[in-house]
Chains A and B, each alone.
Chain A
Amino acid sequence: MTALDPAIHAPLRLQLCAALSAVDEAEFVTLRDRLGVADSVLSKHVSTLVEVGYVRTTKAAVDGRRTTWIALTKDGRRALGRHLRALQELIDAAQPG
């Protein structure tokens, strides 16, 4: 059975990784608004994912304002895929028959 990934398992980190998997990169404030969390909360979870190499951040200036862009790394995409498979296996294993 595929193991759940402890770095992704927290509900907000799973949603963050899943949202990032829909794009190549996303702006910090866009993710913050989509997930409905405070800057500090998102920042903490992003840092956790950066530490394990699942996410990378880049700073950029857009229309004169400094922004942070966040992207899933290849390792992050693979880890998310494994984690989702593990969740599906848990569900399948509980099905009768």
Chain B
Amino acid sequence: MLSGAESSRDITPAAARAALEDARRARSSFAGDLVLPRGYSLLTGAGNAALVGGVAAGNSDWSFGSAAFVLGLLAQLAATAEARRRFKQRNGAWIDGLGGRRASVMVAALFVALILVLCVAAAWLTVGDRPVLAALVALAAVPSTALVDRWWMARHRAGA
């Protein structure tokens, strides 16, 4: 630690520049080395699809609607937990997307909004007695999640 007698005036500009560079390098190299583990997006996408499908079924008058909603929610929670475990195992680190810089937080917020839109669309289609279209909307969560996952990682790396 700096002793009580030391102050900013005791640090030369060259030392300050070197320290700043070291800090920037430590941050950006760690962020740059983070990768999505194999199957991460498929797992989270499948979880989101199950959630959207569950919401649609839960909003229907089908006899198994409530059970489907609960199953969809549980599947989404399980997929998220497994994806998190794989990410931590692969990277030795975790980023939740909400504690980062504004750009990555914005991407995370947009993604939540997208899933909500898919839920509303699938529920609306189910009420309109179009279960096949509702299922397709639910499945759209898989590629959407994969795209957003990659975009979000890129934003995180760029912001770090």
A81 to B92 CA separation, bound complex (whole angstroms): 24
Query: Considering the chains assembled together, what is the distance between the CA atoms of A61 and B96 in angstroms?
Result: 19
Residues 47-105 of B contacting A (Cβ, < 8 Å) = 85, 88-89, 91-96, 99
Instruction: Please count how many residues in chain B sit with their CB below 8 Å of the partner chain's CB atoms.
Output: 32
Shortest beta-carbon distance from B153 to chain A in Å: 12
Number of interface residues of A (CB under 8 A): 39
Q: Is A29 within 8 A of B8, CB to CB?
A: no
CB of B128 within 8 Å of the partner chain: no
A54-97 with Cβ < 8 A to chain B: 62-63, 69, 84, 86-91, 93-94
* Pairwise interchain contact A26-B8, C-beta atoms closer than 8 A: no
Docked complex Cα distance between A26 and B88 (Å): 8
CA distance A63 to B92 in the complex (A): 13
Do A10 and B28 touch (CB < 8 A)?
A: no
B94 touches A4 (CB 8 A): no
Known A-B contacts A4-B2, A14-B22; the reply to A23 vs B34 at CB < 8 A is yes
Q: Quote the shortest CB–CB distance from A34 to chain B (angstroms).
A: 6
A9 touches B23 (CB 8 A): no
If A24-B94, A91-B13 touch, whether A84 touches B23 (CB-CB below 8 Å) is: yes
Closest to A16 in B: B26
Asked whether, in the complex, the Cβ of B8 is within 8 Å of the Cβ of A86, the reply is yes
Assuming the contacts A4-B7, A6-B1, asked whether A22 and B20 have C-beta atoms less than 8 A apart, the reply is no
Q: Is the CB of A22 within 8 A of B31?
A: yes
B160 close to A22 (CB less than 8 A) = yes
Asked if A18 and B27 make an inter-chain contact with CB atoms under 8 angstroms apart, the answer reads yes
Return the CB mask of B15-39 against A: 1 if under 8 Å, else 0: 0110110111011111100100000
B6, B8, B26, B85: which contacts A15 (Cβ < 8 A)? Answer: B26
CB proximity of A63 to chain B, nearest CB, Å = 7
Contact status B27-A4, CB under 8 Å: no
Chain B residues packing against A (C-beta within 8 Å): 1-2, 6-8, 11, 13, 16-17, 19-20, 22-24, 26-31, 34, 85, 88-89, 91-96, 99, 160
Q: Which residues of A contact B (CB under 8 A)?
A: 1-4, 6-7, 9-11, 14-19, 21-27, 29-30, 34-35, 48, 62-63, 69, 84, 86-91, 93-94
